Amino acid sequence: MAKPNYGKKNIIFKLWKTVTHFFPSLLDDMREIKDCRKKGTYELTEILMAAIMMFVFKQGSRNAFNNERSESQFKKNYENIFNMKFPHMDTVENVLRELEEHEIEKLKKLLLKQLLKKKFFRKNRLLDEYYLVVIDGTHVMNVNEGHCDHCLHRTSKKSEKKTYFHCVLEAKLVDASGFSISIGTEWIENPEGEYSKQDCELKGFVRLAERLKNDYPQLP
């Protein structure tokens, strides 16, 4: 008889112990998020946990995590340790597309404040006093004309071809060890209706900086 393989189970268990150590109220925090569905096969906490674990397990894609899901032992270990069902990642994507963005931002802020309360970053502060925040814009994707009312656009001087795209401004807390974690996200997007100038990184920075100061008023 083959010996049971506890390798993956131990890895999942250790990761779960780490998560619950730093975020003991994670499940309760996720239950506070307003569900965008009238009903579903999976609880919203199961959807969100699968999304988080895809990154914790360093899966390269939803398909890669689905491959793990198809392994009966991995799925059994996952469901036993987390005490929740393991959804298909296409289902996870469909729900996250409908979930209000500010709900995810709210959860991210709660988790970060728990790390700050535990003084997780304190020993690596800049000059032993300041938390270092870096902010940069990222081009997310090009889209076709008519994609939405908020698309940015530029016109080529040579071909006069107009390109439509989306960008996002991201703020990350960075410490001296090189560890970084997202603390704020601001979409760079045009308003609906008529406008004189397009949105840009500088305008997005003003909005993002104001929100960071309001969210973390006591941090130097």
On the question of pLDDT at 18 being above 80, the answer is yes
Greater confidence, 220 or 65? 65
On the question of pLDDT at 7 being above 60, the answer is no
**Whole-number Å distance between alpha carbons of 81 and 8:** 12
On the question of pLDDT at 6 being above 50, the answer is no
pLDDT at 169: 95
Greater confidence, 211 or 70? 211
**Whole-number Å distance between alpha carbons of 18 and 24:** 10
CB–CB of 190/152 below 8 Å?
yes
pLDDT at 211: 93
Residue holding tokens 């090009």? 142
Angstrom CA distances, 140 to 2, 59, 126, 152, stand at 48, 20, 30, 11
Helices (H), 57-176: 62-69, 72-82, 89-98, 101-117
Say what the pTM is.
0.76
Cβ-count burial 172-208 (b if 16+ within 10 Å, e if not): bbbbeeeeeeebbbbebbeeeeeeeeebebeebbeeb
For residue 34, count other CB atoms closer than 10 A to its CB.
10
- DSSP-assigned letters across all residues of 43-69: -HHHHHHHHHHHHHTT-SSHHHHHHHH
The model's confidence at residue 1, banded by pLDDT at 50, 70 and 90, is: very low
**Whole-number Å distance between alpha carbons of 131 and 120:** 12
What's the token pair of residue 196?
A: 């004189």
Share of the chain above pLDDT 90, in %: 41
**Whole-number Å distance between alpha carbons of 149 and 174:** 34
